[in-house]
Chains A and B, each alone.
Chain A
Amino acid sequence: MALVLNEDQQLLKDSAQAFCQENAPISMLRRLRDSKDAEGFDRDLWQQMVALGWSGMAIPETYGGFAFGYGGLGVVLEETGHTLVSSPLIPTVLLGATLINELGNEAQKEALLPRIVAGELLLALALDEHQVHAPTRIATTARATGAGFVLDGSKLFVLDGHVADQLIVVARSAGAADSRDGISVFLVPADTVGVTITRTWMVDSRNSATVVLQNVEVPASALLGEVGSGYAGLEKSLDIARIGLAAEMLGSMEETFARILDYLKQREQFGVLIGSFQGLQHRAATMYSEIELCKSVVRAALAALDDPAATASEIARFASLAKAKLSEVAALVSNEGIQMHGGIGMTDEFDIGFFLKRARVAQQFLGDELYHRDRYAALSGF
């Protein structure tokens, strides 16, 4: 397992960096926010990202992808984190394509994955039903009928829910309220009768929606994976997404820290640069160290995803390691981002606040540090 980028990954990273800075700076997110953009992302930008191959990065070549691995997708996500790019990359590619790849049958993969690569299909995962991530606490029901299934329930914080062509709905076809058994996963076109989607506005200005399913009828072919045993594939997909998300968080915290350092070397008080105060220097040095650890964790976790020998439980441990550590440090760095800028850090005109807002949503998404420390402990046998 290599902890440094290989040459191809480094080239990809450099080009992703240049692309994001030129084409998707933070001012784009600001514009989407200020204009209350109906879709919450820029379709032209997304098509450019598709043209660069980002939508097919980790998808196998047989389905039109580029087999660049999660290591490749990871460096792209890291760079999008630097400029807080709002795009379907996480909901459609990192979550959606991964779920189809992990759970779908041959026909589903052949039908859907090439369309994701081509940028023709947007997906959204309708999973959580509570204020915090709880992937086994599924009350949405899936009732088998002769022809297929009927879904009922409601889903919160569905990323890209209001722009997706298809929803990936996690429902319970059997089993107790908090059980891993009895979970089934369905592909539901967003315009199916009985599906009500309401956009919610989150602090990070990214897309999110509430999805209510009332008597939603889907055919048997909508099922992803087996009836009642979808959890293993769902969990593995979530773990992959957690690691990808950690890569994005890494980029955001590196950017926040770079901006802090710039300010420490530029702002003067008491006749000296504020970066000469030891109280700030030690905090900066501590942040640097923590970010270095985060970087190692993300590299190790991405490498594990591309290692054919890695088991699902090893990946689970890496995912919780990464999401716990990155969430903890994201909180630290985003808070210091405000504090070390003083008053200007509190102004909306200044960009640092966007990093704080994104950090908290990313921390919560797919499980916060408490969730993942608990899971890491359980996976480590204590």
Chain B
Amino acid sequence: MQALQEFQESTRAWLEENCPPSMRTPMVQDEIAWGGRNATFKNPESKVWLERMAAKGWTCPTWPTEYGGGGLNKEQSIVLSQELARINARPALTSFGISMLGPVLLEYATHEQKMEHIPKIVRGEIRWCQGYSEPGSGSDLASLSTKAELHGDYYTVNGAKVWTSYADKADWIFCLVRTDFEVPKHAGISFLLFDMASTGVSTRPIQLISGSSPFCETFFDNVQVPAGNLVGGLNEGWNIAKRLLQHERTMISSFGLSSGQSDRGGTTSVMAAVEVAAMHYRGDKERLSDPVLRDSIARFKIDSEAFAYTSRRSIEESKQGQGPNATSSMLKNYGCELNKRRYELLLQALGHQALGWEGEGFTPEELQVTREWLRSKANSIEGGTSEVQLNVIAKRVLGLPDLVAMAKK
């Protein structure tokens, strides 16, 4: 208790000293620090903030110091996040390396692999992308057919991935490949890491309905990958793949967290809270005049608050270092559906003003709502669809029987 108190005091003092002023303002989209070889910093203070946090390992607070992490225990990391929240600090670094790959490398990789990759994730030197989905393999991920064949010291990789977020900006890819076509689908998958600058890798951006193009088709044409880049055993990639998905789902579930709060990171925008927007656009002062919308918003906020407590409870319940489990599917599903509800309610609050595409007649914020609303539709698709999460809950959490398995009996 005493030690934790001291940790809190020293953390607060350090943050006071080291968090630059502009890093205590709400994050703006084009200032998110993703890191990587080609990282650019529109705001120079983002770079300072990243370097200072990385030096302490606090971009990955609970990872072992041996690999550059912060080495904090669960209580300390909670204190750190509280102290960061207290000053509205922006995340110093956002990356798939932190939220997805790092945790499974810590669990499954060899010491050499960890030494090679983890410090670079902590410092934001290498930006990773996720090569899971393929044109023929989405929800049925294990049916994937990108092929890796061992020739001497190298795997030769051929095939295509799709929906690869930021593949055109990433330095390396963590990729699911088929290394055995003869065995049942789950038993022939391996987990391979390689450099996106390798000969034979190409990407083609895809445009989303929101107009932006954050993801790509990714092609592999005889890509040569050193055999030592295989993580875990040969044909044992499926367990790693699933474990990584749990981390991904926990990360995505946080989309539902900010949604109910009326003071998101101190932003003064009326869009920050649905009820504030609804009242603003109707000219209401004390009470939202549309009783039906008011009830829908109350319902949404109640669910958001309940969800926030549930996320917190799941952290309190998890044992030190144990990480997420199958309940991550519940959090992912609920958080994503909440975020979608939030945008549908914003649309009702703003009416036609939320349906502009570009140009005159709309404020930049209104246009942003349109785009974000469209983007939010992906929440219940990316990281496994909502239907797939419900399947996982039914089978893994509730222990309900599998129809396919039963019908075969």
Chain A positions near chain B (C-beta within 8 angstroms):
2-4, 261, 264-265, 272-273, 275-278, 281-282, 284-286, 288-289, 292-297, 299-300, 321, 324-325, 328, 370, 373-374, 376-378, 380-382
A370 close to B313 (CB less than 8 A) = no
B312 close to A382 (CB less than 8 A) = no
Q: A296-B306, A373-B302, A377-B288 are in contact. Are A284 and B294 (CB under 8 A)?
A: no
The listed residue (A288, A300, A381, A382) touching B393 by CB distance below 8 A is A288
The listed residue (A265, A282, A299, A370) touching B390 by CB distance below 8 A is A282
B330 close to A292 (CB less than 8 A) = yes
Interface residues on B, range: 35 or more
Q: Which of B156-184 contact A (CB under 8 A)?
A: none
B287 at the interface (CB under 8 A from A): yes
A277 close to B275 (CB less than 8 A) = no
B3 at the interface (CB under 8 A from A): no
Q: A382-B279, A382-B287, A382-B294 are in contact. Are A277 and B403 (CB under 8 A)?
A: yes
- Shortest C-beta distance, B163 to chain A (Å), equals 24
Q: A276-B400, A370-B295 are in contact. Are A376 and B307 (CB under 8 A)?
A: no
Whole-angstrom CA separation of A373 from B291 in the bound complex: 11
B333 at the interface (CB under 8 A from A): yes
- Shortest C-beta distance, A74 to chain B (Å), equals 15
Closest residue of chain B to A373 (Cβ to Cβ) is B298
Main SS at interface, chain B: helix
- Cβ–Cβ < 8 Å partners of B391 in chain A: 278, 281-282, 285
Which of A286, A295, A377, A378 has most B Cβ within 10 Å? Answer: A377
The listed residue (A2, A289, A300, A376) touching B302 by CB distance below 8 A is A376
B195 at the interface (CB under 8 A from A): no
The listed residue (A278, A297, A328) touching B309 by CB distance below 8 A is A297
The listed residue (A265, A282, A295) touching B401 by CB distance below 8 A is A265
B402 at the interface (CB under 8 A from A): yes
- Shortest C-beta distance, A317 to chain B (Å), equals 9
What 1/0 flags go to B378-403 for Cβ under 8 Å of A?
00000000010111011101111111
Q: Which of B283-305 contact A (CB under 8 A)?
A: 286-288, 294-295, 297-299, 301-303, 305
Q: A264-B400, A265-B400, A380-B301 are in contact. Are A272 and B407 (CB under 8 A)?
A: yes
A285 close to B313 (CB less than 8 A) = no
What 1/0 flags go to B323-360 for Cβ under 8 Å of A?
00001001001100000000000000000000000000
Closest residue of chain A to B312 (Cβ to Cβ) is A3
Q: A273-B406, A377-B294 are in contact. Are A3 and B334 (CB under 8 A)?
A: no
The listed residue (B279, B309, B406) touching A3 by CB distance below 8 A is B309
- Cβ–Cβ < 8 Å partners of A273 in chain B: 401, 406
A300 close to B390 (CB less than 8 A) = no
B330 close to A289 (CB less than 8 A) = yes
- Cβ–Cβ < 8 Å partners of B407 in chain A: 272
Q: A272-B403, A282-B387, A370-B295 are in contact. Are A293 and B334 (CB under 8 A)?
A: yes
Closest residue of chain A to B311 (Cβ to Cβ) is A296
- Cβ–Cβ < 8 Å partners of B397 in chain A: 285, 288
- Cβ–Cβ < 8 Å partners of A284 in chain B: 394, 398, 400
The listed residue (A4, A272, A282, A293) touching B307 by CB distance below 8 A is A293
B317 at the interface (CB under 8 A from A): yes
- Cβ–Cβ < 8 Å partners of A292 in chain B: 310, 327, 330
Whole-angstrom CA separation of A315 from B400 in the bound complex: 38
Q: A4-B313, A276-B403, A281-B390 are in contact. Are A288 and B398 (CB under 8 A)?
A: yes
B316 at the interface (CB under 8 A from A): yes
